[in-house]
Structure 1
Amino acid sequence: MSQMYKVFVNDKPIIVTSSLKKENIFPTYIIKNIIVDELIYKLQDENIKGIYLHANDLENDWALFIKKFKIVSAAGGLVLNPKKEVLFIFRSNKWDLPKGIIEKGESIETTAIREVEEECGIYNLKIIQPLLTTYHVYYRNGIKLKETHWFLMSSDYSKELVPQIEEEITEVVFKSDIEIHKALKNTYGNIKLVYDTYKEM
């Protein structure tokens, strides 16, 4: 069972936890007392780098917290080639991992493979195992919470990779450890979390 959940708002974390031990000097609020709009407004303050929400019953309080949002479910993959390099995409001037929205009637695994194929022009994908689920808040016709299910995948596909230009992806490339270290300086908090989870396995 998880000891915490992280929701990113413009790369600032809202950390939902039942632990009283804090790793950062983020302000702390009782999760049952919060109003989502007020919480997101607080995070616009450049002096606030993140927020802790204290939960007495983590799983129950988390379930109640995410009900305050309209949830958009997505799935994607961290793909390894035979050299153990990781597949990255470049979109909106940031390095990212391929992912996309789950379509009606589609399984999470099917979505993950379809989205990686579509965004990267890669095939022969195999799911090795689930990695984690990440959460981030964005604005599109109101506040949405994107819940992305990530899978560790592999592929031995060796032909040219083709970025999905209509999704504003301009580059698709497998990166070595040194290149990944550099790419992670220009990515999103959730993507660092996915990569860290893979490295800890």
Structure 2
Amino acid sequence: MYKVFVNEKKLTLSKYPEDMEKKLRFEGFATLEIAVDLLENTSCPELNVYGEDLEEVWEDFTHMFKVIEAAGGVVSNKHGEILFIHRIGRWDLPKGKIEKGESLEQAALREIEEETGLKELILEEFLNNTFHIYTERNGEKILKTTYWFKMNYVGNETPKPQTEEGITAVSWKNRETIMDEVFAKTFNNIKLILNDYWQLH
């Protein structure tokens, strides 16, 4: 199953129908175009496209967009707090685009170091990937895949925001604060990956 966010609304691509208000059986490319259009231009809150051959559905779906890959991390410290950045009024996890010739792991470590100033990071394991769609200023539709890794910070430095990237704050937060403050001002993909992370703990 794939969960893709379109304007923060969930599009689920699955083999079998999901328990959702709006469901479309996959009958080719047009089904996917209709699904994205409904999420972008109507009040439809979430939608499920289902088809027997899920990989065919996913392949057709990815062909509708320019695909950009990014990598980032859920970084915890010795107190069990998680590292967040604040940008454009939202809390987010540190991440960024993968550069040519980089592995996913290298990109994740580099981006976290650049965005937060923290270097003593230990990469533990791959968590999951998330997907969302956005439109560039030139009208081009982008499907962004972000690969997330579980990491540990073992140093004692104070994180510093990468202000030239529009990051206004970097902060360690415990689970209670995340539930109370961060979840009200973050993205659905971030909630998904944090829930994946907590299921491991």
Instruction: State whether TM-score is above 0.5.
Output: yes
Tell me whether 1:30 sits opposite 2:26 in the alignment.
Answer: yes
**Which runs of at least 4 in structure 1 moved beyond 2 Å after TM superposition?**
26-29, 33-41, 44-47
1:7 alignment counterpart? 4
Cα deviations by residue, 1:7-54 (Å, 9 ceiling, x for unpaired): 10111011000122x233133242524265543331134530011111
1:50 alignment counterpart? 46
State TM-score, norm by structure 1: 0.92
8 Å contact kept, 2:70–2:96: yes
Q: CA RMSD in A?
A: 1.5
2:85 alignment counterpart? 89
* Counterpart code for 1:152: K
SS of corresponding position for 1:103: coil
Q: Percent of aligned positions with the same letter in both sequences?
A: 38
8 Å contact kept, 2:70–2:147: yes
SS of corresponding position for 1:179: helix
Alignment equivalent of 2:16, drawn from 16, 19, 39: 19
Unaligned runs of 5+ in 2: none
* Counterpart code for 2:47: I
1:185 alignment counterpart? 184
8 Å contact kept, 1:31–1:54: no
1:162 alignment counterpart? 160
1:176 alignment counterpart? 174
Alignment equivalent of 2:149, drawn from 129, 151, 154: 151
Distance 2:14 2:108 in 1: 28
State TM-score, norm by structure 2: 0.92
Distance 1:26 1:7 in 2: 15
* Counterpart code for 2:113: E
8 Å contact kept, 1:27–1:50: no
Cα deviations by residue, 1:106-146 (Å, 9 ceiling, x for unpaired): 11100000000000111111111000011100111300100
* Counterpart code for 2:2: Y
Aligned residues: 197
Tell me whether 1:80 sits opposite 2:76 in the alignment.
Answer: yes
SS of corresponding position for 2:67: strand
Unaligned runs of 5+ in 1: none
Tell me whether 1:105 sits opposite 2:104 in the alignment.
Answer: no
